[in-house]
A and B are shown apart, each in its own frame.
Chain A
Amino acid sequence: MKGQILSGFLAPHPPHLVYGENPPQNRVKSTGGWESLRWAYEKARESIKKNKPDVILVHSPHWMTIVGHHFACVPELKGRSVDPIFPHLFQYDFKMKIDTDLAKLCCEEAKAEGLTAKLMQNPNFRVDYGTIVSLHMLNPDWDIPVLPISANNSPYAFSLDAGQEQMIKLGQATKRAIERRGVKAVLAASNTLSHLHFSEEPNPPEDMSREHVQSDAQYKWDMRVIELLRNGKIEELKKIYPQFIQEAFAEVKSGALMWMLSALDFKPIKADFYGYGTVIGTGNAVMEWKNSAGGAL
């Protein structure tokens, strides 16, 4: 049976969301915080539970690779992930099953696109916090196999255009690999929108009286982009993408969103908006693109 992408998610990864939730896997405990985003993720969780995908693929900017695009290809990865940026918030004991067959097919298809691609097969590999946070927030039960994909640094090392072109090819390769594997898949683009933030945090970090967007200009950019995505105006998004990235220092530069939209064939799907919130000043939205809702181009 031909596999299919059920949906794609914009699934930002501030570790504050896990910290605020207090799951047993995280050694650090909080009194809550960032509820608007955490409740947005509850809607994403409901959708995933309802659709029962076979695998969740996640593209994370915190697994940044220099030589090509990498796919985790170890049957099980486990360990403790301490966030190098926010170690006081995130010390998470992770354990994940990897769809290694899908990893191999993705790698094969990426190479067919002309991309440099590799399989990460070191069992001691420590999974980055971006991957873990997005996956935890989408499926805290960890009962669905996953496939972590690295963010090649080409958008930073070369040019935005060259980098995004690679992500578009990677998205197409991912789609074909899912079809060949015969699985029902969900894609998670682990990206924040506007990414300028404060350099100091309150004490305690979950003091929400101190949480707000870094600038009004940044907020306006986020709303403009979300509005386009809610209305399925992908082609318009592409036009403003470089300016958005430059002016809002948007994390989507790393390629996850473009990868996901490409895998969905850039169909003008009106994304379901589940919520928006700031984390230490950055702008984050949780959204879902249901593939069945996609119209003709």
Chain B
Amino acid sequence: MKGEILKAAWTPGLPHVLNGEKSLSWKKLAEGYTKLGQRISELKPDVLVIYSTQWLSVLGTSFQTQPNPKGVHVDENWYELGDLPYDFKSDAELSTQFALDFKEKGFPTKTVNFEEFPIDTGTIVANRFLNPNGKIPVSIVSSWVYADAKISKLLGETMAMTIEKSGKKAVIIANSLLSARFNPDEISPGEDQISNEDDEANRKVLKSFENGNWKMTANLVSDFSKTSPMDMQFNALHWLSGILGERSTRAEILTYGPQWGTGAAVIDIH
């Protein structure tokens, strides 16, 4: 039986979303995240595939194969927001196959299977909402710092083929910001906001998500970069466009709002 992609999603990875009581925007993002988590749970996927822009790799693309990552992470910037315990299962078999298949395309890859390897904040936040009991096996892929749009898209295309031959039902998560203009100062969470220029750029991308034309959405990145800082060159978007390929999709923007000045959104793509 061929594997399939049941659903894709775009999610934020900063820890503020776990502190909804401090800001209306963070609260709404948490509500959107919770709704998405419920929808994913109903689909009963075999695996959650998470691309996290907060897991940076240097020696090519890395894939997590530690069978049961668990521990307590403290965010290096927002440590006062509390500890982030995590405990989930990895789909090591699928992650290993992702690495083999992308390596076959001529790109450096690594599998990562080390106790106490520092799982990134973005992955932990996504799991908290989308896999709260840690029961769905997870396959995490890193954001290679030297990857460009073309490589990221090819990575997505390759992973889509791997999923198909695996026979597994997968939900795909691109864990990334939209505009990545952080407020460099302390702010009152209630006053968190996105600048007008970033908001305008974000809304163009969101509209394009809704239309489901991935080629057109990817083409917006060039214009976006002229006005707004991007999260890892928007490689999560290129990866997502590669993994969804020519599929006809529609997106539902469950929430969109600021997180410390950046643009964050929870988007259900089906």
Residue ranges of A at the interface with B (Cβ–Cβ < 8 Å): 63-68, 70, 80, 82, 84-88, 91, 116, 120-122, 124-126, 128, 150, 154, 157-158, 197, 199-201
CA distance A158 to B79 in the complex (A): 23
Given A84-B57, A120-B79, A199-B108, 18 other A-B contacts at CB below 8 A? Answer: A64-B77, A66-B77, A66-B260, A67-B77, A67-B185, A68-B185, A80-B116, A87-B112, A91-B115, A91-B116, A116-B184, A122-B74, A122-B79, A122-B80, A126-B73, A154-B184, A199-B58, A200-B60
19 A–B contacts, CB within 8 A, in A order: A66-B77, A66-B260, A67-B77, A67-B184, A67-B186, A70-B77, A80-B116, A82-B115, A84-B117, A84-B118, A85-B56, A86-B59, A87-B112, A87-B114, A88-B114, A91-B114, A91-B116, A124-B83, A199-B108
Residue ranges of B at the interface with A (Cβ–Cβ < 8 Å): 55-60, 72-74, 76-77, 79-80, 83, 108, 112, 114-118, 120, 146, 182-186, 229, 260
| Contacts A68-B185, A91-B116, A200-B108 given; does A85 touch B57 at CB 8 Å | yes
B118 A65 Cβ-Cβ under 8 A: no
B83 A122 Cβ-Cβ under 8 A: yes
Contacts of B115 in A (CB 8 A): 82, 91
Contacts of B73 in A (CB 8 A): 126
CA distance A154 to B83 in the complex (A): 26
Distance of A64 from chain B, by nearest CB (Å): 7
Contacts of B229 in A (CB 8 A): 157
| Contacts A116-B184, A200-B108 given; does A82 touch B72 at CB 8 Å | no
A82 B185 Cβ-Cβ under 8 A: no
**Chain B residue nearest in CB terms to A152:** B184
| Contacts A116-B184, A116-B186, A199-B59 given; does A82 touch B79 at CB 8 Å | no
Partner of B58, one of A82, A85, A125: A85
Distance of B95 from chain A, by nearest CB (Å): 15
Partner of A82, one of B76, B108, B117, B183: B117
CA distance A65 to B182 in the complex (A): 11
| Contacts A87-B117, A157-B229, A199-B59 given; does A124 touch B74 at CB 8 Å | yes
CA distance A72 to B190 in the complex (A): 27
Contacts of B80 in A (CB 8 A): 121-122
Distance of B78 from chain A, by nearest CB (Å): 8
Partner of A68, one of B58, B76, B112, B184: B184
What secondary structure prevails in chain A residues at the interface with B? loop
Residue among A64, A126, A150 with max Cβ neighbours from chain B (10 Å): A126
A66 B114 Cβ-Cβ under 8 A: no
| Contacts A82-B117, A199-B108, A200-B108 given; does A116 touch B185 at CB 8 Å | yes
CA distance A120 to B56 in the complex (A): 23
Distance of B72 from chain A, by nearest CB (Å): 6
Contacts of A157 in B (CB 8 A): 182, 184, 229
Contacts of A124 in B (CB 8 A): 72, 74, 83
A68 B116 Cβ-Cβ under 8 A: no
A68 B114 Cβ-Cβ under 8 A: no
B118 A201 Cβ-Cβ under 8 A: no
CA distance A80 to B116 in the complex (A): 7
| Contacts A82-B117, A122-B83 given; does A128 touch B183 at CB 8 Å | no
Contacts of A128 in B (CB 8 A): 76
Partner of B74, one of A65, A70, A87, A125: A125
CA distance A64 to B186 in the complex (A): 16
Sorted nearest first, the 9 A-B pairs with minimum C-beta distance are A122-B79, A87-B114, A66-B182, A125-B74, A85-B58, A65-B77, A80-B116, A82-B117, A124-B74
B55 A84 Cβ-Cβ under 8 A: yes
| Contacts A122-B79, A124-B74 given; does A199 touch B146 at CB 8 Å | yes
B184 A125 Cβ-Cβ under 8 A: no
Contacts of A126 in B (CB 8 A): 73-74, 118
Contacts of A70 in B (CB 8 A): 77
Contacts of B55 in A (CB 8 A): 84
CA distance A82 to B73 in the complex (A): 12
Distance of A29 from chain B, by nearest CB (Å): 15
Residue among A65, A66, A157 with max Cβ neighbours from chain B (10 Å): A66
Distance of B128 from chain A, by nearest CB (Å): 17
CA distance A120 to B78 in the complex (A): 9
CA distance A157 to B229 in the complex (A): 9
Contacts of B60 in A (CB 8 A): 199-200
Contacts of A125 in B (CB 8 A): 74, 76, 79
